[in-house]
Every structure is written in C-alpha cells, then in structure tokens.
Amino acid sequence: MVTLKTQIIGTWTLLKKELLRFWRVVFQTVAAPVISGILYLLIFSHVLDSRLEVYEGVPYAAFLIPGLIMMSLLQNAFSNSSSSLIQAKVMGNIVFLLLTPLSYLQLFFAFIVASIARGIFVGFCIYLIAITYIDLPIEHPWFLFLFAMLGGGLMGAFGIIAGVWCDRFDQMAAFGNFVIMPLSMLSGVFYSIHSLPVSWQGVSQLNPFFYMIDGFRFGFFGQSDVSPYFSLGVVALFFIVLSFITIRMLKSGFKLRN
C-alpha cells in the first residue's frame, strides 16, 4: 500500500498545498514584502548613493540590492513555514496532516521547499524591479543559487521550529520581532561590516545572517567582507544543524502529537 509512488504523491500534494496557500494571499505574502524592499532601496539609495561607496566601483544603490533581496528571501522563507504551522495549530486543522501517513521527512521536505520557493519568488521580484533602474552585474551565478537555496532552506527549517514550538500568534510575533528582525537588520544589508568598530565586527560575525548576505552579495560583485567559501561553509553548517533539530522535532511529535 505504501509505495514510492504514494509517497511522492503525498509529498507533492503537501508542497502544492503550501505553495497555493501563500499564492492565495499573494498581496500579503509577495506584494507587501516586495514593496517594503523597494521602499528601503528607494529611500536609502536616494539618501546615501552620492555619499557612500562600500565596494570600489560599486554604487551604494547597487551594493544595497543583494542585501535587500537576501533579507526579503530569508524573512519570507521563515514566514512561510512558521505561519503555515502556527495557523494550522491554532485553527486545529493540523490534525488533517497528522492523521495522514506522511512521514516526518516528507513533512520536512515539503515545508522546506515551499519556504525556499516563496523566499526566492519574493527576492526575484525585488531583483526584477531593481534592475529596471540600477545596473547589477552577476559575477558568480552559482553562488547566488547556492546561497539562495541554503539560506531559504535554513530559514524554512527555522520557521518549522518556531511554528512547532509556538502555541500562540503573539509568541510567533515575538519570534519575528525579537529574533528574525534584529538578526536580519544587523547583518550587513545596509553596510559593510568593515565600516563598524572592531568589537562590533566580531559581534556581526556571530550572526549567521551576515554570512548569507555577504556570500549572496559575492555572487553579484565578486567582492565580499569574508571569504565566500567560508560563508558557504557556515551557512551549510547552520542549515544542517537546524535541519537536524527540525527533523528530530517532527519525528518525536514534539508539541504536535500528544
């Protein structure tokens, strides 16, 4: 009865449902973060474009775009899995998933892929709008791809952990406001960490968001604050650790079963 085919159909169905879920509220899940990203870009580039040049030969507006794309990608990947789970838990319809033969690995895979898809879609929309008025080179497309996938996956896993752990919407809002927002804002989206005092550079280097953004930016300009390979290693390590925790949580049924 349980065959590879039934498992593929099961996983694909959950993935399709998760994609449709955010597509049904596209103004909230895509349009709103795209507009926020573009507003950041317009305001900061207008104020600082003529005064700052972070990388040699790269205008500040161009420097800003990869960071904004990655920040939106990460925030939306997190939102996708976390909001889906917290809504299903609070509404009670999580039982429809828990009563099915879907394994913890199928749940993990579908939620992660949907998170990556939404994150990349939002990021790509910002990119398309931004390149209409700012020249943006792409030096290393594979780095863009790897950081987008790993970053989206990492935040999708983090979103599952938050969605499973939180019981109420206010707990989830606290997660977003006190963890995700500061980590993403203080990750070098708007500046190079070399512009910070040495002590703050050290603090920044403890922030995993910094490596995701710095490595992603390397994909565009071929320049970064730290080695892109080191960033890739840090992001991959965080992805593996968070995936391991997520899979353990899903397997044990922590806060979902019982």
CB of 153 to another protein, least distance (A): 22
How many beta carbons lie within 10 A of that of residue 37, not counting itself? 26
CA dist 128 and 211 (Å) reads 24
> Is residue 97 involved in binding another protein (CB under 8 A)?
yes
Helices marked H in the chain: 4-24, 26, 32-48, 60-91, 95-98, 104-130, 141-165, 169-175, 181-185, 198-204, 208-221, 228-252
Q: From the list 26, 95, 131, 241, which residue makes contact with another protein (rule: CB under 8 A)?
A: 95
CB of 159 to another protein, least distance (A): 17
CA dist 122 and 88 (Å) reads 23
Residues 19-78 that bind another protein (CB under 8 A): 20-21, 24-25
Token output for 187: 């990750």
Q: Answer whether 95's CB lies under 8 Å from 2's CB.
A: no
AA letter at 119: G
Please identify, using beta-carbon distances, which residue of 24 and 51 lies nearer to another protein. 24
Q: Which of 84, 49, 61 is nearest to 134 (CA)?
A: 61
Please identify, using beta-carbon distances, which residue of 4 and 206 lies nearer to another protein. 4
Q: Which stretch binds another protein (CB under 8 A): 73-81, 95-103, 152-160, 235-243?
A: 95-103
Q: Which stretch binds another protein (CB under 8 A): 29-37, 84-92, 161-169, 206-214?
A: 84-92
> Is residue 5 involved in binding another protein (CB under 8 A)?
yes
Q: Which stretch binds another protein (CB under 8 A): 87-95, 150-158, 174-182, 237-245?
A: 87-95
Q: Which of 194, 200, 225 is nearest to 211 (CA)?
A: 225
CB of 6 to another protein, least distance (A): 2
Q: Which of 134, 14, 119, 109 is nearest to 73 (CA)?
A: 119
Query: What sign has the CA pseudo-torsion 28, 127, 236, 63?
Result: negative
Q: Which stretch binds another protein (CB under 8 A): 34-42, 93-101, 125-133, 171-179?
A: 93-101
How many beta carbons lie within 10 A of that of residue 186, not counting itself? 18
> Is residue 91 involved in binding another protein (CB under 8 A)?
yes
> Is residue 206 involved in binding another protein (CB under 8 A)?
no
CA dist 227 and 235 (Å) reads 12
Please identify, using beta-carbon distances, which residue of 19 and 183 lies nearer to another protein. 19
Site mask, another protein, residues 214-253, x = CB under 8 A?
---------------------------------------x
> Is residue 163 involved in binding another protein (CB under 8 A)?
no
Q: Which residues form the interface with another protein (CB under 8 A)?
A: 1-3, 5-7, 9-10, 12-14, 16-17, 20-21, 24-25, 88, 91-93, 95-103, 253, 257-258
